[in-house]
Amino acid sequence: MMEEALKKAEDVVLEAIRRGKYEEAGRIVFRDVFKPLLDLIFHIEREIDRNTENIAKLTEKVDKSTENIDKLTENVKRLLGETGRLRGRDVEFRTGLMLQGWFRKNAPDYEVFIWDGAGADIVIEGRGILASIDIAIKPKIEDVRQLKDGIGVIEEDWGRKPDLLIIYSRSGIIPKRVADFADRMGVKIVRRPAEIRKILESR
C-alpha cells in the first residue's frame, strides 16, 4: 500500500517536472511524501513517550512489588524462626514432663524440676547429686556451650553448682562432632531416661 502511494506520488511529481512546474512538484513531494513521513515520525515519538511513561510506571510498580516481596520474605523468615523456637520449647517442655513421670516411677529417689532459667531445661536432684540437663531434638555444639555457660545461673538460683551436665537427645541422634566436643567439655549426651539414671547412680 505504501509502495503504491509512493509510485503514484512519483508519477505525479515526474509529470509536474516534465511540464516545468517545479514549484508544484515540490509541493506534491512535501504534501504526499514528506508530510506523511513527518506525521508518522511524530506519531511514533508520541507512542515512544507514552510507552516510556508506561514503562516508568510499570518499573515503579515492579520496584514496589519487589520491596513488598522482600518485606514478606523477611516476615516469613521471622515467622519460621519463631515457629522453630516454639516447636523447640514445646519439645523441651513435653520431654521434661515425660522425664518427670519416668523418674517418679523408675527412680523415685530423684526429683525432676522443669527449669525456666538460662543454662538448662530441667534440673534433677537426689541422693546428694544435682544434674543440669539440656533437652535437644538433635544436639548441637551450641547446646554444649549453653549448658556450660549456665553453670553460674544454676549455682546462683539453686545455691550450688551442678555436679553433672547432661544433654538429652530427643531424636536419639548424636552427631560425632558434637559428642567429641561434649566429651572434651565434660558434658554427657544420652538418648534414654535410663542412661540419665545410670549416670546419676555412678556418682
pLDDT digits (tens, 9 = 90+) for 25-84: 666 666 666 666 666 667 777 877 787 787 777 777 777 877 877 777 787 777 766 776
Q: What integer pLDDT is reported at residue 74 of this predicted model?
A: 83
86 and 149 housed in the same domain: no
Residue 49 belongs to some domain of the structure? yes
Identify whether residues 78 and 140 lie together within a single domain.
Answer: no
pLDDT at position 10 is 66
Q: Are residues 77 and 112 in the same domain?
A: no
β-strand pairing of 164-169 with 188-190? parallel
Mean pLDDT value of segment 91-104: 90
The cell numbers describing 33, all together, are: 511524501
pLDDT above 90 (res 113): yes
Instruction: Please tell me the predicted confidence (pLDDT) of residue 164.
Output: 97
* 90-107 per-residue burial string, b: 16 or more CB within 10 A, e: under 16: ebbeebbeebbebbeeeb
Of 44, 62, 91, the one marking the end of a domain is: 91
Confidence of residue 128 (pLDDT cuts 50, 70, 90): very high
Instruction: Tell whether 20 and 83 lie within a shared domain.
Output: yes
**Residue 70 and residue 146 in one domain:** no
Whether 99 is in a domain gets the answer no
pLDDT of residue 141: 96
- Residues 164, 115: one domain? yes
In-domain check, residue 167 = yes
Structural domains in the chain (count): 2
CATH number of the structural domain spanning residue 139? 3.40.1350.10
Please check the confidence at residue 23 and state whether its pLDDT lies above 60.
yes
Examine the domain organization and report whether 73 and 132 are in the same domain.
no
Q: How far is Cα 146 from Cα 144, in angstroms, rounded to an integer?
A: 5
Note whether residue 97 is domain-resident: no
Answer left, alpha or beta for residue 120, where phi above 0 means left and psi between -120 and 50 means alpha.
beta
Q: Considering only CA atoms, give the Rg of the chain.
A: 42
Q: Provide the b/e sequence for 62-86 (b: ≥16 CB within 10 Å).
A: eeeeeeeeeeeeeeeeeeeeeeeee
What is residue 67's predicted lDDT score, i.e. its pLDDT? Answer: 81
Q: Which domain holds residue 184?
A: 107-201
Cell numbers linked to 82: 519463631
Q: Out of 56, 91, 126, pick the residue that ends a domain.
A: 91
- Check residue 6 and give its pLDDT: 61
Do 84 and 128 belong together in one domain?
A: no
Q: 78 or 202: whose pLDDT is higher?
A: 202
Question: Which residues have C-beta within 8 Å of that of residue 15, sequence separation ≥ 6?
Answer: none
Which among 91, 120, 148 is the end of a domain? 91
Instruction: Answer yes or no: do 64 and 116 share one domain.
Output: no
Per-residue confidence (pLDDT) for residue 176, from 0 to 100: 96
pTM of structure: 0.63
| 146-194: pLDDT as tens digits | 999 999 999 998 899 999 999 999 999 999 999 999 999 999 999 999 9
Lowest mean pLDDT among 92-96, 120-124, 190-194: 92-96
Q: Please say if the pLDDT value at position 199 is more than 70.
A: yes
Residues 115 and 179 in one domain: yes
